[in-house]
Amino acid sequence: MATIRDVARLAGVSVATVSRVINQKDSVNPETAGQVLKAVEQLQYEPNAVARGLAGKKMGIIALILPDILNPFFPALARGVEDVAHKKGLTVILGNSDDLGLKESSYIKVLKKKYVDGFIIASNTIREEDVESLRKEGIPIVLLDRGLNTTACPVIRSNNREGAKLAAHHLLGQGCQRIAHIYGPQEFITARERLLGYEEVVQGSKGYSPSLMEPGHFDIDSGRKAVEQLFARHPNIDGIFAGNDLMAIGALKALRERGIQVPEQVKVCGFDGIGLTEITEPELTTVAQPIYEMGRLAAQILLDEIESGISGNSLIELDVTLIPRKSTMKEES
């Protein structure tokens, strides 16, 4: 591999001049620039990213830390991030945190040493101190979902409360009287908001009871188990709003096992809008988050901060969309 010195030598100029024409900085005589470019061409010179990184403290890498790429919610997010990064010539380092604060901290520590340009963290367990320390060092960071009190950096999330209300209203509109809610871990702000939205809508209705709410862990199995619990208490449930799609799928499975017809006897609505919802039987009604778009947006905001050096702290709540499908269909009357 040719180095900048090789180019300088061949073009008969100093390395500084070569650097200038490569980066289009400062003024350089067009004629000289021509020589340099010719030499670059001739030697097939490509600047070394690591040397650049060392000098400039930026490796052209953005770090994406998420709980688990195996969770079907995250691939779309990752793809959104990667697509905009790639368009701008940056690459993406992927880290799975398993929602372990410690693992996140350790990633941050390691990646800081690699001079990543910035962080996108999709996490519910990220620690304030970590965010602070990054800010202090001038490393941009964008958060997904988290960040209630954090005014320290941009936060992107969906409008979870509105989404939950959408779901609850939809179920009511489809004729449900006793709507249960399987809620996610309450340390996740998303899960809390969805629960609140549900309560807000359902509280007034006649069938309401706090015992219609059952916790789950945002995975298929806990959705299934929650249904067992719920039906033990309330055999007459006719609608289920699950805090996410995975739990809704679990619910679907449990209902089928019990021989309960969906949507005839019980209607089910999920949350997230992951691809899986299209392949269940019946297809699953869900409140779709613009997942890919969230990834794109996070990356765009991050790149803006990286380029401008200005750090914002906006809280962006994206709109969600109810996608009605067979699992909540009202029988034709």
Integer Cα distance of 114 and 5 in angstroms = 25
Integer Cα distance of 302 and 293 in angstroms = 14
From residue 221 to residue 250, the character string flagging contacts with its own copies as x (rule: CB under 8 A) and all else as - is ----------------------------x-
Nearer of residues 25 and 113 to its own copies, judged by Cβ: 113
Integer Cα distance of 228 and 236 in angstroms = 13
Write phi, then psi, for 212 (nearest 5 degrees): -85, 0
3-state secondary structure of 113: helix
Integer Cα distance of 326 and 76 in angstroms = 24
From residue 99 to residue 118, the character string flagging contacts with its own copies as x (rule: CB under 8 A) and all else as - is --------x-xxx-xxx---
Please name the amino acid found at residue 189: I
Nearer of residues 79 and 169 to its own copies, judged by Cβ: 79
- Decide which of DNA, its own copies, none touches 256; Cβ closer than 5 to 8 Å per partner kind: its own copies
From residue 266 to residue 285, the character string flagging contacts with its own copies as x (rule: CB under 8 A) and all else as - is ---------xx--xxx----
- The residue behind tokens 């905009």 is 84
Q: Given strand 179-183, what is the order of strands in its sheet?
A: 213-215, 179-183, 239-242, 267-272, 285-288, 321-323
Nearer of residues 166 and 297 to its own copies, judged by Cβ: 297
* Residue 53: both structure tokens together: 């990184």
Integer Cα distance of 77 and 291 in angstroms = 6
From residue 45 to residue 64, the character string flagging contacts with its own copies as x (rule: CB under 8 A) and all else as - is -xxxxxx-xx----xxx---
Q: How far is the CB of 311 from DNA (least distance, A)?
A: 19
Which range, of 85-93, 174-182, 231-239, 310-318, touches its own copies by CB under 8 A?
85-93
Contact yes or no for 214/183 (Cβ under 8 A): yes
Residue 221 CB neighbour total at 10 angstroms: 14
Pairing of strands 179-183, 321-323: unpaired
- Which residues of this protein are in contact with DNA, per CB under 7 A? 1, 3-5, 12-17, 19-20, 22-23, 25-29, 31-33, 45-48, 50-52, 54-56
Nearer of residues 232 and 279 to its own copies, judged by Cβ: 279
Taking CB under 8 A as the rule, does residue 329 contact its own copies? no
Taking CB under 8 A as the rule, does residue 76 contact its own copies? yes
Query: Which residues of the chain form contacts with its own copies (CB under 8 A)?
Result: 46-51, 53-54, 59-61, 68-70, 72, 74-76, 78-79, 82-83, 86, 89, 91-96, 107, 109-111, 113-115, 220, 249, 253, 256, 275-276, 279-281
